[in-house]
Amino acid sequence: MRDGFSFAEMKRFAGKLKQDVFVLYLSYKDSRTPWYAKVVAICVVAYAFSPIDLIPDFIPVLGYVDDLIIVPLGILFALKLIPTEVADDHREEAERIRQSGKPKNWFVGVLFIVVWIVLAVWLGGILMTFLP
């Protein structure tokens, strides 16, 4: 019986998740992928490649929830929607892309910044109603 994952197992799991993001990206472009799977896949890929997190990492504990739970669950869900043969066809190419480095999605990053600013202004407006 084991108490937990070894560092090598965690590193292998993280590498597989990164490869799966690229599989989703390539599968999104494939005409054999159903439209609903494409929608989920592109949302997961856009979020995973975004330089900005929905929950910033500097927030204790919660900042890493998206990296440790939300993104992997999104990847698993999207892969379930994509036909197995489509995903399998893109695994080798996804590994080559993963080795060359992760692209950034600056549009999504700017979108998250705008969402945080709007949220801050909205909360500031609410707090101002309580001040004398």
For residue 1, is it within any domain? no
Task: Tell me the per-residue pLDDT of 90-114, one tens digit each, with 9 for 90 and over.
Answer: 888 887 877 776 555 676 667 777 8
Instruction: Quote the pTM value.
Output: 0.62
Q: Give the model's pLDDT for residue 1.
A: 46
For residue 68, is it within any domain? yes
For residue 32, is it within any domain? yes
Q: Give the model's pLDDT for residue 117.
A: 87
Mean pLDDT of the 55-72 span: 75
Q: Which domain holds residue 13?
A: 7-130
For residue 2, is it within any domain? no
Q: Give the model's pLDDT for residue 51.
A: 67
HSE toward the beta carbon, residue 47, CA cutoff 13 A: 18
Q: How confident is the model at residue 68 (pLDDT cuts 50, 70, 90)?
A: confident
Name the domain count of the chain.
Answer: 1
For residue 123, is it within any domain? yes
Given a cut of 80, whether residue 59 has pLDDT beyond it is: no
